[in-house]
Amino acid sequence: MLTVAEPMPSTDRVSQEILVSTPRNPVPGGGTAGHFLASDGARIRFAWWGPTGLNKLGTVCILMGRAEFIEKYFEVISDLRRRGFAVAIMDHRGQGGSSRPLANPRKGHVDDFAQYDADLEQFMAEIVLPDCPAPYYALAHSMGANILLRATRSRMCWFDRIILTAPLIALEPNHTRVPRPPRVAEVLTLCGMGTMHVPGGNGIALDERPFEGNPLTSDAQRYARTQEVLRTAPELALGSPTIGWYHAAWQSMSLLNSDPFPRSVKVPALIVASGNDPIVSLRAIEGFTSRLRMGAHVLIPGARHEVLQERNGLRDQFWAAFDAYIPGARPSRAEQLLGL
């Protein structure tokens, strides 16, 4: 039987939120969930948990990819807590349980990635820094990694180290059906067509499509687990992006690929690429990493776009890299045996 969790406790500064629970994907215990209001009135859903491990190693902030939602990361949250980390996570505006800007809530839209920048800054200032223990690390996927990299240029960046999986630095050339997509998206957006789906797009989320041939993971069980969540709470699903979102994304990718940007990143970064990723460009990731002042690159052969949703053997490779990169992260043998 599919269930929906009761509202989780909230802080004094935010309202309560409900996180969705299913038999294969229960809500981790002991957390706090709520939402804050962005400066433009958008409602941003978040949650955070303390560590369950014997060590107390600080906080990992998770920045998700486009169209993802908090519930998809429950397993990752538990993995991090067992290592001794508190975990803080939010749904980006326009997806998950956060406000949708368009009348059709299945359209993935944003006007400018600067809106994501502002939401991250507010999330850190109002939720993470007051309530979660230092030091702070970030784990970011795809679009979330793009947003995180934008934040690392500031001398006030909050994070000691960052880990990026399949970062949205450039798209694979075959990922879009539009010829010369940046220019086309710019023209159509200027013509007032920015809220239309991209050519060939629709309201069906990638996670709602059949497992066979999906670009996200080769793990059928984890894929089915996510689909179970979306059947329980279809309002969490997000379809194809709009032309305006693509225009904003290409502007941000152009910024990341500009000559001075990689050397302006002020935080040590571990970049994990997936060998069978059909969405983001492996060549762009490798080239970007080579230009960082403090960067390391790991390739996981056989993994599709979402390595954290992959088969155990591929996930284990990611966690081995994570544990080697973050000080003190590896769970003790006793914690592993006890399942802490």
Q: Are 41 and 96 in contact (CB under 8 A)?
A: no
Range of the domain at 263: 3-338
pLDDT higher than threshold 60 for residue 253: yes
pLDDT higher than threshold 80 for residue 24: yes
Cα separation values, 102 from 107, 184, 194, 238, Å = 7, 22, 11, 12
Show Cβ contacts of residue 5 under 8 Å, excluding neighbours closer than 6 positions. Answer: 18, 19, 20, 21, 27
pLDDT higher than threshold 50 for residue 3: no
pLDDT higher than threshold 80 for residue 12: no
Mean pLDDT score, 211-230: 98
Whole-number pLDDT of residue 175: 64
Sheet of 31-37, strands arranged across:
3-8, 15-21, 31-37, 43-49, 85-90, 58-63, 136-141, 161-165, 269-274, 295-300
Whole-number pLDDT of residue 316: 98
List pLDDT tens digits, range 39-87.
Answer: 999 999 999 999 997 889 999 999 999 999 999 999 999 999 999 999 9
List pLDDT tens digits, range 281-303.
Answer: 999 999 999 999 999 999 999 99
Structural domains counted in the chain: 1
Mean pLDDT score, 253-273: 96
| DSSP 8-state secondary structure symbol assigned to residue 339 | T
Whole-number pLDDT of residue 239: 97
Show Cβ contacts of residue 233 under 8 Å, excluding neighbours closer than 6 positions. Answer: 4, 20, 71
pLDDT higher than threshold 80 for residue 256: yes
3-state secondary structure of 255: helix
Q: Across-strand partners of 207?
A: none
Whole-number pLDDT of residue 8: 55
Spatial separation of the C-alpha atoms in residues 114 and 202, rounded to whole Å:
25
List pLDDT tens digits, range 91-134.
Answer: 999 999 999 999 999 999 999 999 999 999 999 999 999 999 99
pLDDT higher than threshold 60 for residue 340: no
CATH number of domain containing 154: 3.40.50.1820
Mean pLDDT score, 215-220: 98
pLDDT higher than threshold 90 for residue 317: yes
pTM of the model: 0.91
